[in-house]
Amino acid sequence: MRTIRFLLQKEFRQILRNKTILAVVVMVPIVQLIILPLAADYEVKNVSLCIVDNDHSTYSQKLIAKITASGYFKLVDFPESYRDGLKLIESDKADVILSIPSNFERNLIRDDTQELFVSVNAINGVKANLGGAYVLGIIREFNSVIRTEWIQAPRFSNIPVIDIAITNWYNPYMNYKIFMVPGILAVLVTMMGGYVSALNIVKEKELGTIEQMNVSPIRKHHFILGKLIPFWILGMIVLTIGLTVGFLIYGIVPEGKIGLIYLFAAVYLVSVLGLGFLVSTYSETQQQAMFLSFFFIMIFIMLSGLFTSIDSMPQWTKVITWFNPVTYFIQVMRMIVLKGSGFMDILPHLLKVAGIGLVLNIWAIRNYKKTS
């Protein structure tokens, strides 16, 4: 225990001397948690729209007013023809073209039917999909409104009516920030545990001080604990800072017990620290460690369900997510923060992360013994 205490004193002195690590621990979580949730918005707004109105009737003006009043579109032009509107899409000045044919109002009233033409710039697939869906949804609602106006219902109608009441559980106002902040915080803790720790250990190799540690009477488990415990503590500090920022900036208060978050994070950090330690055993320079860490962490983040649902991924990708510790941490953060899940709810994820951590740390220890 005395040996570990001296090693921890040495590590913390080195960390405190390194202003970069201090900035990563304190400033990076604050800045990223303020900026990233504002940028990672699933709602597409300011879709550039041009409307070719060949009818100039009362109904076409009502439709245009309804679309522009929705708040999702930015009306850029009223071209004279569809060909002129297509030029705006080709020059990236418009995302959607709505073409209203001539005799729109007359055909709608006389024949009860009329076709509209919508063209969408699909270079940006997400924006095109949502922008087109917004237009179609508004047109359907407009169609429903005018049909309701035309129906001459009796005073006492015998037609059955079904009322639908929608309730959103866990995130009643559909605030994407409440959904994104826990996931982004999980990624920040991962970066501290897996990325920074790997670079720190490899730095010892570049300086040659690790060879002095290897030939000293210090036991291997003392050396490993002395290297990993400081970053375990720093990871918990990053988590604390992130939860504080989430409360102060976004008003996020976990529905569940905050102690469960720290319990899972404690086990999770052992897992990602094992990954960082494993990367350091295969790397001779900080550049090698940086590329290896970036390779694995990028895959972990993209396949974690942070930005896209795992259920929509191909089956072979879902298999990879079973071995991805970031997936479980993000799921548990959202379960506790949004749903108020208890210990038994997160226990399966906790056991999986503990198993992944056990495998990574044993692998790293055996590989370190082999290379030293």
78 and 211 share one domain = no
Judged against a pLDDT cut of 50, whether residue 319 lies above it is answered with: yes
- Kindly report, residue by residue over 346-367, the tens digit of the pLDDT: 999 999 999 999 999 888 888 8
The tokens of 43 are what? 């709602």
- pLDDT, residue 260, reads 95
Q: Classify residue 134 by burial, with Cβ atoms within 10 Å: 0-12, 13-18, 19+.
A: buried
Final residue of a structural domain among 135, 150, 165 = 150
Predicted pLDDT of residue 342: 92
Residue 308 lies in a domain: yes
Token pair in block for residue 334:
């959202």
User: CA-to-CA distance for 59 and 368, rounded, in angstroms?
Assistant: 75
C-beta separation of 356 from 271 below 8 A: yes
Would you say residue 92 lies in a domain?
A: yes
Residue 188 located in a structural domain: yes
130 and 242 in a single domain? The answer is no
Whether the predicted pLDDT of 40 surpasses 90: no
SS3 content of the chain, % helix, strand, coil (to 5): 70, 5, 25
Domain contains 1: no
Radius of gyration of the chain (CA): 29
Percent of the chain with pLDDT over 70: 91
230 and 101 within one domain: no
b/e for 180-214, b at 16 or more Cβ within 10 A? bbbbbbbbbbbbbbbbbbbbbbbbbbeeeebeebe
- The answer to whether residue 144 is domain-embedded is yes
Cα–Cα–Cα angle for 58, 59, 64, rounded to 5 degrees: 100
pLDDT in tens, 214-268: 667 777 777 778 878 888 988 899 999 999 999 999 888 899 999 999 999 999 9
Task: Name the pLDDT band for 158 (thresholds 50, 70, 90).
Answer: low
Residues 32 and 86 in one domain: no
Q: What is the structure's pLDDT at 223?
A: 74
- Whether 160 is covered by a domain: the verdict is no
Is 50 buried (19+), middle (13-18) or exposed (0-12) by CB count in 10 A? buried
For residue 166, the 8-state DSSP code is -
Q: What is the pLDDT of residue 200?
A: 74
99 SS3 class: strand
Give the domain-ending residue among 150, 184, 205: 150
Residues 277 and 339 in one domain: yes
d(CA 115, CA 37): 40
What does the pLDDT look like over 50-101, one tens digit per residue? Answer: 999 888 888 888 888 888 888 888 888 888 888 888 888 888 888 889 998 8
User: In this structure, are 32 and 62 located in the same domain?
Assistant: no
Task: Answer yes or no: do 80 and 205 share one domain.
Answer: no
Say if 155 falls within a structural domain.
no
Is 362 a domain residue?
Answer: yes
Provide the greatest CA pair distance for the chain. 96
Rounded to an integer, the average pLDDT of 309-314 is: 84
**How many Å apart are CA 90 and CA 241, to the nearest integer?**
47
Range of the domain at 323: 10-40+174-371
Are 27 and 100 in the same domain?
A: no
What's the CA gap between 305 and 186, in Å, rounded?
Answer: 12
Q: Does residue 217 sit in the same domain as residue 259?
A: yes
More confident residue, 119 or 208: 119
- Among 106, 134, 150, residue at a domain's last position: 150
How many domains is the chain partitioned into structurally?
2
- Between CA 173 and CA 4 the distance in angstroms is 49
Higher local confidence (pLDDT), 25 or 302 = 302
pLDDT at position 160: 58
Strand 47-53's sheet: what is its strand order?
Answer: 73-77, 47-53, 96-100, 117-120
- The reply to whether 133 and 207 lie within a common domain is no
pLDDT (average), residues 92-115: 84
Q: How confident is the model at residue 317 (pLDDT cuts 50, 70, 90)?
A: confident
* 77/206 same-domain check: no
| Backbone dihedral angles phi then psi of residue 157, each to the nearest 5 degrees | -85, 135
What residues have CB less than 8 Å from 56, skipping those under 6 apart?
A: none
pLDDT in tens, 169-197: 888 877 888 888 998 999 889 988 888 77
In terms of average pLDDT, the best of 124-128, 298-302, 331-335 is: 331-335
CATH code of the domain in which 135 resides:
3.40.1710.10
Residue 235 is inside which H or E element, if any?
helix 220-250
pLDDT of residue 155: 47
- Contact present, 295 and 265 (Cβ < 8 Å): no
Highest mean pLDDT among 112-121, 180-189, 213-222, 299-308 belongs to 180-189
Question: Do 139 and 262 belong to one domain?
Answer: no
